[in-house]
Structure formats: C-alpha cells, structure tokens
Amino acid sequence: MKVTRVLAGAAGMALMGVGGSLLMDVRDLTGVLVWLGGAVVVHDALIGPLVLLVGLAPVLVRGGARGPVRGALVVAGALTVVALPVLLRPGRTANSSVLPLDYPRNWLIALVVVATVTVLVLAARGFAHRRRPPS
C-alpha cells in the first residue's frame, strides 16, 4: 500500500507540474482564475451536498438491499457524467448529423433500465431468501 501511495503521489506531482507549465502559456489568466473559482463554488455549493444526499440512500435501505442500491447509484452517476456534455449542449447544431438522437430521452431510458434491473435483482434476492429453508 505504501508503494502505491508513493507512486500515486509522484504521478500527481508530475501532473501538477504539467498543468503549471501549461498555465504559463495562458494569455488571459483572469479568465482561468474566474473559471477555477466558479468550479470550486459549484462543487462546494451544489455537487458536494447533492452527492452526500444521494449517498444517504443506501443507508436508509435495509441491509440486504444496500449493495444493489449502491451499485445502481454508481451506474446512474457514471451514465450521467458521460451524458452531461450532450445534456447541456446549447440547442440544435448547424449540422444535424452531429448529434442526431434525442439524448435526454435516451439517458432517461437508461436510468429507468438501471432502476428496473435493480428492482428485479432485489425481487430475485427476496424470492430466493423466502424459498431457502431456515437453518
């Protein structure tokens, strides 16, 4: 574990060095600072509390269902992060073949599929638990 931490720290320091060297080439440094400040505010005021609230969901669920609920939340979060650029796109593009599908609808369908599979897994676990003879 110690070697992994040292390697991760070294990689992080190297990437910080690359980022710092790239920052030296920026002509409009105030724009970058405003963007970074906005990112910190959005993270601390919106994303952090939202993640903490969603993280309470597995705690409120009974013991055997925590794993599937936690997994569904991770998958839903990953789907949302991947779909976010398309979901936040600024309207229609000049070229209709660039983003030809209804991405918000497809994202919602994917989330419904994740929720449905989670409910089916929980139902199958409950059914198997009831059929198992007491020991």
Task: Indicate the angle between helix axes 103-131 and 66-87, nearest 10 degrees.
Answer: 170
pLDDT, tens digit (0-9, with 9 covering 90-100), for 91-126: 676 777 777 778 889 999 999 999 999 999 988 888
* Closest by CA position to 50, among listed 76, 83, 26, 87: 76
- Per-residue tokens: 113: 């599929």
Considering the entire predicted model, what is its pTM?
0.60
* Residue 2 to residue 49: CA distance in whole angstroms: 31
pLDDT, tens digit (0-9, with 9 covering 90-100), for 15-52: 999 988 888 888 888 888 898 899 899 989 988 888 88
